[in-house]
A and B are shown apart, each in its own frame.
Chain A
């Protein structure tokens, strides 16, 4: 029994908090911006092995950095349940007559919206820095991939948040989960350059397909067909959201 009002109010809360957390947003946007600026300019015009003929590095990099933004903001959105626990607000949510699934859906939609907004911001910034997407419709299509990446990692964040008692494990997860997921995804370099065994791990990383899909839509060049990336991501995001909801349901709020 899905409770639409509850989903809406949870989403609304995320929007309000997002619009008031300007410094946090500036902080999250800084890193992708630096990546774009320094890596994009530093490797400009360089002949990178594995890169498709005629694709400049900035065109290769920009979708990767958008994907990175999605990864970091979404993981954060999922794990932010821990902050609600820390500040007691989780109890207020959990004691309301709303089924857990609606609460998870509200969180995922709210988190995905803020993530996608930040992803779009990064995309706009990259265009200002010289990135040229294939077309306007490509931009719209890329939002679909952003949503799928986002729901996958919000689900993953929820799993961690449900298993952790306090916020102290947060940096551990950033260093041992989020960063490896980022580096394995081929956001910065073509996966074809990696040794086979690492590449095998890369293919288990949902972000690999997310970034490949973003490249497919935004610049029309990708390792897999965009439809394949789409299908794989649908699978990942359903499983992760389901698992996130499952573990969240089982966790006790006090």
Chain B
């Protein structure tokens, strides 16, 4: 039995489809990532899987329980760390954990032990009796992760677990997440718009854009699908037509898997890229195009996203924001 089964899951808000016919499975013990730009529908998906939102159509099962019909069974088996803080600022860290443990029906002895354990795990033991309103952003995040773990959930949802955290805290949280998954066998499903986070943590990644899955596989296989190294040429901007010509010539070359051009950048996927750079530069010069810079790198998930959508995740976020504004304006009749 899969830990999570999602079939044709859809959520519409006033005619705007946030999640569009999503289907996927997450195996037990897997660390699964939903990767996509802000507004792609990741949080809405998590909210439906954690029973906070009712799907418009489609079905989903978590630990074998239906997220609509068997809400309480689902809730008993999951832990969740929300994207925005969901703590009571007027309680201390420990009281927040105590509240949670009691809501999940743990007895006093077990509560005390688990709270000590999770506080140690996230290194907040010395701040346990401080009011949460005095915590920093990173501390709140760690407290929330600790809280999500107290009741030993079978499935843990992490919605943008490292959003807005500094590099050092992010690293630490990554290590907690890995450790949890490896040592305790917790199935983890996390959403992120950080490529390197998905790459580093996830066994499998679903790339999601405009509420749809556009690719799903292990980060390695996704990158392999691009078929080689990524070479980016930065060319002079004025040579628009010439650049088009060059793009079409390059795309006909046998060793070139794909070419994408956006603005003054030409991105190629090439096998054994380092050997092909000189040849490509000569070709460009013959066309009369000056190349300002060349970079070669092993493909990242960013390149995978670019490959499947034709846009970088940042560009997509910008256009997504515009779209959201448009929807908002329509909704409020402005």
A17 CA / B99 CA spacing, docked (Å): 13
**Whole-angstrom distance from the CB of A5 to the nearest CB of chain B?**
6
A46, chain B: closest CB distance, angstroms: 44
Told that A17-B88, A92-B87, A99-B72 touch, could you supply 6 new A-B pairs with CB distance under 8 A? A3-B105, A5-B105, A9-B98, A12-B99, A88-B87, A92-B100
CA distance A252 to B11 in the complex (A): 14
- Among B88-104, those with CB < 8 Å from A are 88-91, 95, 98-100, 102-104
User: Is the C-beta of B280 less than 8 angstroms from some C-beta in chain A?
Assistant: no
Say yes or no: is A253 at the interface (Cβ < 8 Å to chain B): yes
Quick check: is A21 within 8 A (CB to CB) of the other chain?
yes
**Stretch from B76-84, B230-238, B300-308, B318-326 at the A interface:** B76-84
Asked whether any CB of chain A lies closer than 8 Å to the CB of B47, the reply is: yes
By a CB distance below 8 angstroms, the chain A residues around B104 are 96-97
Given A94-B52, A97-B72, A253-B52, A13:B85 Cβ within 8 A: no
> In the complex, which residue of chain B has the Cβ closest to the Cβ of A94?
B52
Residues of the A chain whose Cβ atoms lie less than 8 Å from the Cβ of B147 = 92
Cα A181 to Cα B98 with chains together (Å): 39
Which residues from A are CB-within-8-Å of B191?
none
Contacting A17 at CB < 8 Å: which of B51, B53, B87, B90? B90
- Chain A residues positioned under 8 Å from B105 (CB to CB): 3, 5, 97
Asked if A20 is an interface residue, CB under 8 A from chain B, the answer is yes
Q: Across the two chains, which residue of chain B brings its CB closest to A9? A: B102
**Does A87 make an interface contact (CB < 8 A)?**
yes
Q: In the bound complex, do residue A97 and residue B90 qualify as a contact, i.e. CB atoms below 8 Å apart?
A: no
Q: B54 at interface (Cβ–Cβ under 8 A)? A: yes
Q: Which 5 A-B pairs have the closest CB atoms?
A: A88-B86, A97-B75, A96-B103, A9-B102, A97-B76
Is B187 part of the binding interface, using a Cβ–Cβ cutoff of 8 Å?
A: no
Given A88-B86, A92-B87, A95-B52, also A6-B95 (CB < 8 A): no
- B50 interface residue per 8 A CB criterion: yes
Distance of A88 Cα from B52 Cα, bound (Å): 12
Specify which chain A residues have a CB less than 8 angstroms from the CB of B102 in the assembled complex. 5-6, 8-9
**Do the beta carbons of A6 and B87 come within 8 Å of each other?**
no
Docked complex Cα distance between A6 and B73 (Å) = 16
User: Do the beta carbons of A89 and B86 come within 8 Å of each other?
Assistant: yes
* Cα distance, A33 to B49, chains bound together (Å): 50
Q: How far is the CB of B8 from chain A (nearest CB, A)?
A: 21
Interface string of B161-172 (1 = CB under 8 A from A): 000000000000
Q: Identify the closest chain A residue to B73 (Cβ).
A: A97
- Give the distance to chain B from A84, nearest Cβ to Cβ, in Å: 8
Closest beta carbon of chain A to B207's beta carbon, Å: 24
User: Within 8 Å CB of A97, what residues of B?
Assistant: 72-73, 75-76, 103-105
Interface residue tally on B, bucketed by range: 20 to 34
Chain A 220-254: CB-based contact to B (< 8 A → 1; otherwise 0): 00000000000000000000000000000000111
Instruction: Give chain A interface residues in 1-52, CB to chain B under 8 Å.
Output: 3, 5-6, 8-9, 12-13, 16-17, 20-21
Are A96 and B91 CB-contacts (below 8 A) given A91-B86, A252-B52?
Answer: no
Which B-chain residue is minimally distant from A103 (CB atoms)?
B103
Interface size class of A (residues with CB under 8 A): 20 to 34
> In the complex, A13→B97 CA distance in Å?
12
Q: Are A89 and B103 in contact (CB under 8 A)?
A: no
- A13-B99 in contact given A20-B90, A88-B85, A88-B87 (Cβ < 8 Å): yes
- Chain B residues, CB < 8 A from A20: 90
The answer to whether A95 touches B80, judged by C-beta atoms less than 8 angstroms apart, is yes
Q: How far is the CA of A16 from the CA of B90 in the complex (A)?
A: 8
A98 within 8 Å of B (CB atoms)? yes
29 residue pairs A–B, Cβ–Cβ below 8 Å: A5-B102, A5-B103, A5-B105, A9-B102, A12-B99, A13-B88, A13-B99, A16-B91, A17-B90, A17-B91, A87-B89, A88-B86, A88-B87, A89-B87, A89-B88, A90-B86, A91-B82, A92-B82, A92-B86, A95-B75, A96-B100, A96-B104, A97-B72, A97-B76, A97-B105, A99-B72, A253-B52, A254-B47, A254-B52
A-facing residues in B131-154 (Cβ within 8 Å): 147
Residues of A near B82 (CB, < 8 A) are 88, 91-92
What is the 8 Å Cβ interface bit string for chain B, positions 92-133, against chain A (1 contact, 0 not)? 000100111011110000000000000000000000000000
Interface-centre pick from A6, A91, A97, A253 (highest chain B CB count, 10 A): A97
A192 to chain B, nearest CB (A): 45
- A93, CB-defined interface residue at 8 Å: yes
Contacts A5-B102, A252-B53 given; indicate if A13 touches B91 (C-beta within 8 A). yes
Q: Are B103 and A93 in contact (CB under 8 A)?
A: yes
A6 to B85, CA, bound (A): 21
Within 8 Å by CB of B52, from A5, A9, A12, A91, lies: A91
Within 8 A of A (CB), among B294-320: none
The distance in angstroms between the C-alpha atoms of A3 and B103, with both chains bound, is 9
State in angstroms the CA–CA spacing of A97 and B75 once bound together: 5
